Chains A and B, each alone.
Chain A
Amino acid sequence: MKPKRERGHLLRALLVSSLVHLVLLLFLVKPLHLKEQPYRTLTVSLLETRIPEPPSPTPQPQSAQLLEKERPKAVEQPKPREIPKPEEPKRPELPRPVQKPIKPEPPKEEQRQLLAKSEPRPTAEEVDLERQRLEAIKEIERRIRERQIEAQSPQEPKGAAFDLYLSQLQERIRSFWVIPEGLLREDVKAIIRVRIDPQGRLLSAELEKSSGDKVFDRSALQAVKKAEPFPPPPGGQTMEVGLVFRP
Chain B
Amino acid sequence: MCFVLRIALALGIVLWGIRAEVTVYLEIDSPKLRLYRLAFLPVVPGDDLSKRAESLMERCLEISHLFEFMDRSKFPLIREPLSPERIDYKLWREMGAEFVLSTAISHEGGQLQLVLFFYDPVQGIPLISKVYRAQQGFLRQLVYKAVDDILQTLTGREGLFNSRIAFIRAQKEGFRELWLIRPDGGEEIPLVKGTICMSPSWSHDGRKVLYTSLRSRNPDLYVVDIFDGTVKLLSQNPGPNVSASWSPDGRWIALAMRGEKPGDTDLYLMSADGGSLKPLLVSPHVEVSPCWSPDGKRIAFVSDRTGTPQIYIYDLGSGKFSRLTNFGSYNAWPSWSPKGDWIAFSGRWQGQFKLFIIRPDGSDLRMITPYAGDHERPSWAPNGRHLVFSSNLKGKRLLYITTIQSGGPWVVTLSQGEDSQPAWSRLYQ
Q: How far is the CB of A10 from chain B (nearest CB, A)?
A: 5
Dominant secondary structure at the A interface? mixed
A237 to B262, CA, bound (A): 84
A49 to B140, CA, bound (A): 13
The stretch of B22-30, B273-281, B314-322, B392-400 in contact with A is: B22-30
- Does the CB pair B19–A46 fall under 8 Å? no
Chain B's closest residue to A183 (CB) is B155
For window 141-200 of A, CB contacts with B under 8 Å fall at: 142, 145-146, 149, 153, 155-156, 166, 169-170, 173-175, 177-184, 191, 193
- Does the CB pair B370–A121 fall under 8 Å? yes
Interface size, chain A (Cβ < 8 Å)? 125
A25 neighbours in B (Cβ, 8 Å): 15
A154 to B105, CA, bound (A): 60
- Does the CB pair A39–B193 fall under 8 Å? no
A215 neighbours in B (Cβ, 8 Å): 154-156
A104 to B192, CA, bound (A): 40
Chain B's closest residue to A205 (CB) is B123
- Does the CB pair B122–A67 fall under 8 Å? no
Q: CB of A61 within 8 A of chain B?
A: yes
A156 to B21, CA, bound (A): 8
- Other 4 A-B pairs with CB < 8 A, given A60-B190, A102-B306, A111-B326: A28-B15, A96-B307, A108-B327, A183-B66
Q: Which residues of B are interface residues toward A (Cβ below 8 A)?
A: 1, 4-5, 7-8, 11-12, 15-16, 18-19, 21-36, 65-66, 84, 93, 98, 111, 120, 122-123, 125-127, 129-135, 137-142, 145, 154-156, 173-176, 187-196, 198-199, 212, 214-217, 219, 224-231, 239-240, 242-243, 256, 261-265, 284-286, 288-289, 302, 304-310, 323, 325-330, 332, 349, 354, 356, 362-367, 370, 385, 403-405, 407
Q: Which residues of A are interface residues toward B (Cβ below 8 A)?
A: 6, 9-10, 13-14, 16-17, 20-21, 24-25, 27-28, 36-37, 39-47, 49-55, 59-68, 70-71, 75-81, 83-84, 86-89, 91, 94-99, 101-108, 110-112, 114-115, 117-121, 135, 138, 142, 145-146, 149, 153, 155-156, 166, 169-170, 173-175, 177-184, 191, 193, 213-215, 218-223, 225-226, 240-247
6 contacts between A and B (CB under 8 A): A71-B194, A111-B326, A118-B349, A156-B24, A177-B30, A226-B122
